[in-house]
A and B are shown apart, each in its own frame.
Chain A
Amino acid sequence: MPSLWKIRCFVARSAREVTHGGLLYWSWIVALLALVGFGFAAYLEQLDHGLITTSMRDQVSWAFYIGNFTFLVGVAAAAVMLVIPAYVYDWKPIKEVVILGELLAIASLVMCALFVLVDVGRPDRLWHLVPGIGYLNLPSSLLAWDVIVLNGYLALNLCIATYVLYSLFVGGQPRKGIFKLLVLLSIPCAIAIHTVTAFLYNGIPARPFWNSAILAPRFLASAFCSGPAVLLILMQLLRRFTRFEIPDAAIWKIAELMAYAMFVNLFLLGAEVFKEYYSNTEHLIHMRYMFTGLDGQSSIVPYMWFSVVASLIAFVLFLVPATRRNPMTLNLGCVLIWAGVYIEKGMGLVIPGLTPDTLGEIYEYFPSRSEVVISIGIFSVGSLLFTLMVKVATPILLGEFRLRSPSRHFAGTPHPSSGHPFVQSQGSQPQTSTGRVESGRG
């Protein structure tokens, strides 16, 4: 009897939480909703006219949408890959932000699904992918595998996040056995989603730019940079705007891990560049299109160089302890990594892979207005979803939001059962801790 009642309470309290907020909160929500609205309107137009509203054509038949999809799979994977050091080395400060990683993964996966949705020519037929009523071409189609691992990973993350938050809400602790099992299961799944997505490109011998054995390792390395970069900024925003306590040590540790990941990423890129330029075969043409342009077609070139330079600068910033501990340079590094990987794993992967096409034609792709508006709309959906999830999760993790506790009255008072393994609740004095990164306080 009580569980149904508890679930109703959980839902009702969550609803109450997301509908109460200050001016800043509501401005953010309204701005996101407006962008979602613009994106949706553009999508309706695309549905009506067909994908001709994009700049994609037969020569470059995957582009901005699929580039964003690929980047976000990396974010989703990496958010949870932080779990590895947390559990393998039992390193506590990172453990506390794992739940944020799970929520980020959920938001990213929803965006991934939306990017695939807007990219397909016949979204009304996506049910053809549902085993049983449709037909999933297993084991040969990598996209079929991707459908399975991405949905499985989404389900797993939803389970973990809901289970932990609900357990805390009803005043208990998540059962260690179940929790650990789910979290450990999510590690191979995180690696799997990015590996399978890399194989989607990798398994195409017709496109030599993608048909490289180190593509999947490169995907993982760059994801280990971009995912935590997003998380680092989010963590700083969270402790700025909520009473969430995130120790500096956690932030610095993550930044250090990112430096190693960026080293591997740059090393693998260098290995590719050497192989192509030194061998100087016909296959070099794609890399030449990317770095120097071909036949005067070079709109992608400045972006690629920006990506390389941004990644190099960020690597140095994160490698040197002084700069990764300085909030200014830390955040600059995060933005540079984010931008660098966004270009490299998005447009920088998809466009040169398809240009020139298999018959040597160079079709210079640049996203159309409609593609950009729809993509901004999808990023807004993800941001909105993440905001709402964090809005509910934060007070639960802080112990302010419990069954039978009239939250508004207790706000600011630490719950007796706080001090659970997910967050170091310092009670109502979040401003007193010292030595934290003074980010965003300008």
Chain B
Amino acid sequence: MNEARSLDRRDFLCVVAGCVAATTGSCADVTHTPFFRERLRELTKAELADIVAGMAEDYHARYGKRFEVGAAPAQPGVEFAYALDLSHCVGCRRCVHACVAENNQSRDPEVQWIRVLEVEKGEGLDLAHADPYYDAALVPRAGYTYVPIACQQCRNPPCVKTCPTGATWQEPDGITVIDYDWCIGCRCCISACPYGARHFNWAEPQIPADELNTTTHVLGNRLREKGVVEKCTFCIHRVREGLYPACVEACPTGSRKFGNLLDPSSEIRYVLEHKRAFVLEAELGTRPRFYYFYGD
């Protein structure tokens, strides 16, 4: 039934794109270009394989490098979650830079998915008076706590609720992803996100060719264009292959913990069961899968 509907839609697009089709080739070719295809989540496995192969070719043509564009789906029995130890984070921002490199974030203009806030001790976790522009050479400063914030992978994500085109959704393993080819760039999700986790490509992203990460995922760190929104995906291209997110590996203090909530023996379960963990802005009812705790 679902398939029938998507075929109808493609037929309709063929008519709409009739003129283009007439000059460039068959209908199927046109509807499989990023411009005319359906949302990624509506595609069959075979269609998705086709699409990602086309993306890899396209990136190769642009940068002269072999890209791997993965499309690994969520594994059954997996729900990812994250926990960050505020008593050990020193605010060095190595996670920020590891994230930028791993996830092909634009260097000019700068896009950074992780923002680290410097908060005065004694003010509680008062984000409204925090400073994101502190000098990382001076950390850790006495009297300050450091709070790294990225996408909180909410169970009840306001960004998904507000998106008018359904270009962003929650995967079965709990990661909220964006279809970069379906996003119209209206920025409703940026307004809706309580954590400043979503970032817009205000200009064409610039990344030096030798700094590109060629191991990518279609819903994660593949190359973006100007005019669309992007965000942290827990390094979806790594975690679905059993690796840690890049920020976990980059953290020199071991403050970052990651794992499968549904696995009773995972480190994340240990943290949640033995430490006093909490979430940010709990009163907003977003129910994050990103926890903070005090290890000491």
Contacts of A51 in B (CB 8 A): 185, 200, 202-203, 227
Bound form: Cα–Cα A49–B206 in Å: 13
B9–A132 CB distance below 8 A: yes
**What 1/0 flags go to B94-131 for Cβ under 8 Å of A?**
00000000000000010000010100000000111110
* Chain A positions within 8 Å of B183 at CB level: 121-122, 125
- Does the CB pair B184–A285 fall under 8 Å? no
CA distance A251 to B35 in the complex (A): 52
CB under 8 Å from chain B, chain A span 80-121: 116, 119-121
With CB as the reference atom, state the residue of chain B lying closest to A350: B191
- Confirm or deny: B186 has a beta carbon within 8 angstroms of a beta carbon on chain A: yes
Instruction: Tell me if A194 counts as interface (CB < 8 A to partner B).
Output: no
A125-159, CB < 8 A from B? 125-129, 132-137, 140-144, 147
Could you tell me the distance in whole angstroms from the C-beta of B174 to the nearest C-beta in chain A?
19
The answer to the question of B161 belonging to the interface, with a C-beta cut-off of 8 Å to chain A, is yes
Q: How far is the CB of B148 from chain A (nearest CB, A)?
A: 11
Among the 9-residue stretches B49-57, B83-91, B162-170, B269-277, the one with 4 or more Cβ atoms under 8 Å from chain A is B162-170
Which listed residue, A120, A136, A144, A206, touches B185 by the CB 8 Å rule?
A120
Q: How far does the Cβ of B105 sit from chain A's closest Cβ, in whole Å?
A: 12
Q: Using Cβ atoms and an 8 Å threshold, which residues of chain A touch B166?
A: 135-137
The reply to whether the CB of B144 lies closer than 8 angstroms to some CB of chain A is: no
CB within 8 Å of A: which of B166-218? 166-167, 182-188, 190-196, 198-204
Q: Which residues of B contact A356 (CB under 8 A)?
A: 128
Q: How far is the CB of A120 from chain B (nearest CB, A)?
A: 5
Which one, A53-61, A165-173, A267-275, is touching chain B? Answer: A53-61
Inter-chain contacts of A147 with B (CB < 8 A):
164
CB <8 Å contact, A58 and B188: no
Q: Hey, what's the 0/1 contact readout for A24-65 against B, CB within 8 Å counting as 1?
A: 000000000000000000000000011110001111011000
A143 in contact with B191 given A122-B184, A359-B130 (CB within 8 Å): no
**B254 CB within 8 Å of chain A:** no
Q: What CA separation (Å) do A120 and B185 show in the bound complex?
A: 5
Cβ contact within 8 Å between B202 and A56 = yes
Closest residue to A47 on the B side, CB-wise?
B227
Q: In the complex, are the beta carbons of A62 and B161 less than 8 A apart?
A: no
A358 interface hit (Cβ, 8 Å): yes
Q: How far is B184's CA from A129's CA once the two chains are assembled, in angstroms?
A: 9
Residue of A nearest to B111 (CB): A58
The answer to whether B193 touches A206 (Cβ under 8 A) is: yes
Highest count of chain A CB atoms <10 Å: which of B162, B186, B193: B186
A143 and B162 contact, CB distance less than 8 A: yes
Point out the residues of chain B lying under 8 angstroms from A50, CB to CB.
Answer: 201-204, 226-227
A203–B162 CA distance with the chains assembled, in angstroms: 9
| CA A126 to CA B204, docked complex, whole Å | 19
Q: Is A207 an interface residue, CB under 8 A from the partner?
A: yes
CA distance A144 to B182 in the complex (A): 15
- A184 to B132, alpha carbons, bound, how many Å? 53
Min CB distance A50 to B, Å, is 4
Q: Is B140 an interface residue (CB 8 A)?
A: no
| A141 B162 Cβ-Cβ under 8 A | yes
Query: Interface 1/0s, chain A 336-377, versus B by CB < 8 A?
Result: 000000000000000000101111110000000000000000
| Residues of chain A within 8 A of B115, CB atoms compared | 359
Task: State the CA gap A116–B186 with chains docked (Å).
Answer: 8
Q: Mark A192-207, 1 if CB is under 8 A from B, else 0.
A: 0000000010011111
Look across to chain A and name the residue whose beta carbon is closest to the beta carbon of B193: A206
Q: Is the CB of A142 within 8 A of B202?
A: no
| A→B interface (CB under 8 Å) | 49-52, 56-59, 61-62, 116, 119-129, 132-137, 140-144, 147, 200, 203-207, 282, 285, 354, 356-361
Chain B residues in the interface with A (C-beta under 8 A): 9, 12-13, 16, 35, 39, 109, 115, 117, 126-130, 132, 149, 158, 161-167, 182-188, 190-196, 198-204, 226-229, 281, 284-285
11 contacts between A and B (CB under 8 A): A51-B203, A52-B109, A120-B186, A122-B228, A125-B185, A127-B16, A134-B165, A135-B166, A141-B188, A204-B162, A359-B130
